[in-house]
Amino acid sequence: MKKFTAVITLTLVIALLAGIAASAESGYAYGESVLNEFAPGWTAIQADETVISLTPGACQGEIRFGWLSKDENSRFMISESSDMSASKEIEVETSGAIDGYISNKVTVSSLEEGKTYFYSYTENGVWSEPAPVSVQNDEDFTVLYVSDAQIGRSGDETLEEVLIRDTCGWNYTVNKMTGRYSDAAFVISGGDQFQSPDSITQMKAYLSPEALRSLPVANTIGNHDNGATLYGDIFNNPNEVKELFGDEAGTGYYYTYGDVLFITVNSNNNFLFDTAKVLKSAVKAYPDAKWRVVTMHHNPYSASLSDGEYSEERLLFSALYDCYDIDLVLSGHDHLYSRTEPMYAGKKAEGEGTVYVQSSSASGSNYDPLPDELASFTVSAFDVRVPTYTALTFTDGAITGTTYRTDTDEIIDSFEVKDNTSDSRADIFSVMISMIKTLFSMI
């Protein structure tokens, strides 16, 4: 990546930092010294015309890359050496993108476990500095889960001080979790990466953490990413499933890592058959996966809902998850952390069921309160105005989750999910029966 020197006058720095410090006390894990150190780099973040995104590939050993440019002739190469000797050039797929940009996408396959590679690409005709990338173990691996970085959410998104403090918070969380879990296989983001779906400025801010040059992120379409093409232009998702009522942003998709099937659902699309198509396509492609994990932005069992409150997501989506034997559902949207008991047909499961985990703000940009009385299905909840992240470790016997607050590194929740995946084949009849059971549980 090209290096830029930020030239900011002392007067501007002082004025900018004074404005930020006055409004950044609540909701963020970092101190004023961290913000003061981070703020002058904002110019360099925005001057970089072509930041790159890394996403997990269709299976372990594959990584996908995406970036925007004004140049129609972008190139990409990968090597086993940091000096890029004996490099292999890989064809770049291009298409038209938002605001006259070109969307550039590359898929690199057959990467060996445990080996470090280096990649470089052209940024509007100039080769970037080589960056390292590697593939982790496929057994007992860890994935980091966050949601709602939502750069620009903390105030007026047109103001630099708002964007800077949110971006600082997001960088702080990424540095915290990758510092503790340096061998994480990848990150999952539960949606609302940006506040506005067409903001190049917010996209650059979201992709600014240095760790994300080497660590893939599986991003989810949130309601704030919905309605523009930017999400699909910059993120190179695998196995996208064509939906009848898909959005400009993109569609649901799926991928595997080790013995885990990960399915990402666009929960802005409430058409039952589209979501069923995504799930069916994924399970059909990988019927023998040990674990099935879904990511969606909206939570069917949000801790913001008390017992008896109607939830459209619960009625529609959870019925499908019951029928496709989903072990774990990851979500966000309500800017608070919570976890449910195993759930089936709208109730706490007597035996096997699906556990729903909802992540808080990943940046500190916004939080929602818990209700006065928690629903009976909520087993853990945390709405302190501090960003959180969850580490998920997958073994043959269980999915182990550990959730941290980023200011003190304190563990606020830990849990274990046992296997509930079977060889069931859902059909529309079984889904409708599950929906009826869920509906009666909500009455």
Q: Check whether 2 has a pLDDT greater than 50.
A: no
For the beta carbon of residue 245, count every other beta carbon within 10 angstroms: 12
**What tens digit of pLDDT does each residue of 276-302 get?**
999 999 999 999 999 999 999 999 998
Span of 153-157, 251-255, 401-405, 434-438 with lowest mean pLDDT: 434-438
pLDDT at 1: 40
CA–CA dist 331, 337 (Å, integer): 10
Task: Write down the mean pLDDT value for the chain.
Answer: 89
Q: Among 200, 426, 220, 396, which Cα is nearest to 319's?
A: 426
- Compute CA distances 162 → 206, 212, 214, 335, 338, whole Å: 14, 22, 27, 18, 27
pTM, full prediction: 0.91
Which tokens go with 361? 């703000």
How far apart (Å, rounded) are the C-alpha atoms in residues 145 and 220?
A: 11
Mean pLDDT value of segment 357-373: 92
Residue 285 neighbours by CB distance under 10 Å: 15
The more confidently predicted of residues 133 and 323 is: 133
Whole-angstrom Cα distance, residue 38 to residue 17?
10
Reported as a single tens digit per residue, the pLDDT across 75-84 is: 999 999 999 9
- Sign of the Cα pseudo-torsion (343, 348, 352, 357, in order): positive
Quickly state the pLDDT bin for 92 (edges 50, 70, 90): very high
Q: For residue 267, what are its two tokens?
A: 């929960």
Can you give the pLDDT at residue 22?
34
**CA-to-CA distance for 318 and 348, rounded, in angstroms?**
13
The distance of Cα 434 from the centroid of its chain, to the nearest Å, equals: 29
The predicted structure's pLDDT at residue 440: 73
pLDDT at position 190, please?
97
- 348 or 58: which leads in pLDDT: 58
The mean pLDDT of 242-263, rounded to a whole number, is 94
Under the banding of pLDDT at 50, 70 and 90, the label for residue 399 is very high
With beta carbons less than 8 A apart as the criterion, state whether 433 and 420 touch: no
